[in-house]
């Protein structure tokens, strides 16, 4: 029978699973491991931050642990051989969110079709966009095309910047938390707190935008509908796949299409250089 155990076990397995505080109890760790072995379970591993819990204190009293795990037996793993566990960015809780994907899909992101957003009607400057697109055209088709171009640019400036800011802050927060798990310092902890404050402001702005789009009053006493935010959280690719690649100027490429084009360009440059070199130095025949 296929089965899986997933929870906060509140017990590190090895010394590397903990930073700060008391040392890991070898007796409890051995008992924990012995129980898992008797059940014929294995740890699915993870990608993302090194730890899953932090007390969030200053550097001298900081404690971090990896205590949230997914254990599976052979039958479960046979059914889901591509399953992966990702530790996501920690925002409010002392635990990192943990994502289990049993059958992750990898595909290129294609351009989305244009869709009119009702929330635009609430923005006074939207009328200016409509008038500009209409006044510059002499036909309905031309006016429509102009409107699509202008409103996309306008939407990016007035609404899209909130989402891009959130992605940037989430990426920075993720990087800082990884750095804290490896080499904690007072400076990094202060940066994390500042990013958390900035993220709060962005999440409030994003909440208002989604409320306008949906026209549903699902906000109760400041609580957020987290399903929107979980969908926009970036999950790192499986360790068996190329999730990112650094280009020649040191920038990381994450988009599958960008990674594909970079690898293709690298091979093209390699083969072109080899061909040019062979043409300059033809082999000698003996």
Instruction: Report whether 55 contacts 84 (CB < 8 A).
Output: no
d(CA 104, CA 107): 10
Question: What is the structure's pLDDT at 13?
Answer: 87
Q: Is the pLDDT of residue 279 over 60?
A: no
pLDDT digits (tens, 9 = 90+) for 6-15: 999 988 888 8
Question: What is the structure's pLDDT at 119?
Answer: 60
Mark out the alpha helices in the chain (DSSP H runs): 26-38, 74-79, 126-135, 140-155, 161-182, 186-214, 226-232, 256-280
Please indicate, yes or no, whether the overall pTM of this predicted structure exceeds 0.85: no
Order of strands, edge to edge, in the sheet holding 98-101? 47-48, 84-87, 98-101
Percent of the chain with pLDDT over 90: 21
Q: Which CATH architecture has domain 4-101?
A: 4-Layer Sandwich (3.60)
Half-sphere exposure of 212 (CA within 13 A, CB side): 14
237 band by pLDDT with thresholds 50, 70 and 90? very low
Q: Is the pLDDT of residue 65 over 90?
A: yes
Instruction: Report whether 84 contacts 44 (CB < 8 A).
Output: yes
Look up residue 163 and give its two tokens. 């989402």
pLDDT digits (tens, 9 = 90+) for 160-205: 677 788 888 999 999 999 899 988 999 999 999 999 998 888 887 7
Percent of the chain with pLDDT over 70: 76
The domains of the chain are located at 4-101, 118-232, 245-280
109 band by pLDDT with thresholds 50, 70 and 90? low
Instruction: Report whether 70 contacts 8 (CB < 8 A).
Output: no
- Considering only CA atoms, give the Rg of the chain: 25
Question: What is the structure's pLDDT at 84?
Answer: 86
- Mean pLDDT taken over the chain: 78
d(CA 16, CA 276): 50
d(CA 30, CA 106): 38
Report which of residues 239 and 211 the model is more confident about: 211
What backbone torsions phi and psi does residue 257 show, to the nearest 5 degrees? -65, -40
d(CA 211, CA 214): 5
Order of strands, edge to edge, in the sheet holding 18-19? 18-19, 64-65, 53-54
Question: What is the structure's pLDDT at 221?
Answer: 34
Least confident stretch, 18-22, 181-185, 212-216: 212-216
pLDDT digits (tens, 9 = 90+) for 23-57: 998 899 889 888 888 888 888 888 888 899 999 89
pLDDT digits (tens, 9 = 90+) for 66-98: 999 999 888 888 888 888 888 888 888 899 999
Q: Choose from 219-228, 241-250, 253-262 the range with maximum mean pLDDT.
A: 253-262
Rounded (10°) CA dihedral 97, 101, 105, 106: 50
Question: What is the structure's pLDDT at 224?
Answer: 47
d(CA 25, CA 67): 14
What backbone torsions phi and psi does residue 246 show, to the nearest 5 degrees? -95, 130
Instruction: Report whether 247 contacts 253 (CB < 8 A).
Output: yes
Question: What is the structure's pLDDT at 97?
Answer: 92
């Amino acid at each position: 029978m296929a089965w899986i155990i997933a929870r906060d076990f509140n017990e590190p397995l090895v010394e590397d699973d903990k930073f700060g505080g008391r040392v890991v109890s070898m007796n409890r760790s051995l008992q924990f491991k012995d129980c898992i072995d008797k059940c014929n379970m294995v740890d699915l591993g993870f990608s993302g931050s090194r730890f899953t819990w932090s007390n969030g204190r200053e550097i001298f009293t900081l404690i971090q642990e990896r205590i949230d795990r997914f254990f599976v037996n052979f039958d479960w793993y046979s059914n889901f051989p591509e399953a992966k566990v990702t530790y996501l960015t920690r925002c409010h809780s002392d635990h990192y969110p943990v994502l289990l994907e049993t059958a992750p899909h990898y595909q290129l992101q294609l351009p989305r079709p244009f869709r009119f957003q009702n929330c635009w009607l609430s923005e006074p400057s939207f009328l200016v966009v409509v008038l500009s697109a209409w006044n510059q055209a002499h036909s309905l088709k031309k006016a429509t095309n102009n409107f699509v171009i202008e409103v996309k640019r306008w939407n990016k400036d007035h609404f899209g910047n909130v989402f891009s800011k959130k992605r940037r802050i989430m990426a920075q927060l993720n990087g800082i938390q990884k750095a804290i798990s490896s080499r904690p310092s007072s400076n990094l902890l202060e940066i994390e707190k500042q990013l958390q404050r900035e993220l709060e402001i962005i999440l409030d702005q994003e909440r208002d935008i989604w409320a306008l789009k949906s026209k549903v009053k699902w906000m109760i006493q400041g609580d957020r509908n987290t399903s929107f935010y979980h969908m926009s959280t970036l999950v790192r690719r499986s360790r068996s796949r190329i999730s990112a690649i650094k280009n020649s100027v040191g920038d990381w490429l994450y988009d599958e299409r960008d990674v594909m084009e970079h690898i293709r360009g690298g091979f093209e440059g390699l083969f072109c250089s080899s061909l040019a070199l062979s043409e300059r130095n033809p082999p000698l025949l003996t």
